[in-house]
Amino acid sequence: MTKKLAVVAFGGNALLRAGQCGTIDEQEANVYQTCESLLPLIERGYNLVIGHGNGPQVGNILLQVNAGEKMYGIPEMPLDVCGAYSQGFIGYIIEQQFMNVLAKHNIKKNIVTFVTQVLVDKNDPAFQNPTKPIGPYYTDEEVEKLKAKHPGDSFAKDPKGKGWRKVVASPKPLWINNKELVEELAREGNIVITVGGGGIPVFYVEPGKLQGIDAVIDKDLASSMLAVQIKADEFYILTDVPKVCLNFNTPNEIRLDTITISEAKKYLAEGHFSEGSMAPKVRAAINFVENGGKVCVITEAGQLHNPEAGTRIVND
């Protein structure tokens, strides 16, 4: 019997929970719990590919890089390199904790982590309007110095008065590096960790020459595109709520069980989902199902023991 292939996108709370400091002990415990919640998928015969976020982690790396440059003159590293740092250490945590989970349950599987480059279009309109804040806060004086040092960088003032932050584009992912190998390894029964933080954004500076670029790719959309490109049967987006809701967190809240692509687009257009939370996840779900996927499930990790868990987005 051919096993189903599922791509699972870890949400931010898979690594760091609200109110936590982000110590390695906290992150390892969170990842262990999330990996244990994936056991029902393995028991039901799924092969797995895992994507994950990196927002808090890459932000901390940028703070460390900034402090190192100020205090010790250590050369700053660009955002794409910091993204690669985060992919490496988060992949290590997931790989190790999943190995611990499998050992506890006497399951033998190999786990491999890819530091993943993702191609973007340098002419993507997102580069004309960078909106994604990253890294530390700066004073007025620091921003002026940074603008002189890096004329191409953009900065935005924090609405709460904390200072200025660098803002970068969030372009659309076009192509996932090593996707063929990811699919091959996953279908052979190995667990593959890839597209961390949406992947490292790269573009062709000239034919045949790739180069990193300051940008942040939405991790759910990148995972969705990967799921399409490796012909996954199902796509799971793990978040901190059991179901997608209309009128979220109000007395009129409605939990959604199964919705079609048309219904999902309608709810998006009506503004039911916020841009900083559920809207990107619903768009990623639509992208997967519209491009050949059977079903996308949005739910919290602890619900995966139930085959009917979460909100299921399906074709019309």
**Residues with catalytic roles:** 12-13, 132, 219, 281
Crossing angle of helices 219-229 and 278-290, rounded to 10°: 10
Task: Identify whether the C-beta of residue 162 lies closer than 8 Å to the C-beta of residue 111.
Answer: no
Tokens matching residue 296: 């996308």
Crossing angle of helices 261-269 and 278-290, rounded to 10°: 150
Helices (H), the chain: 24-37, 39-43, 55-72, 79-104, 140-149, 179-187, 219-229, 261-269, 278-290
> Where is 9: in which H helix or E strand?
strand 4-10
* Radius of gyration, CA atoms only, the chain: 20
Residues 6+ apart with CB under 8 A from 86: 54, 57, 58, 61, 196, 197
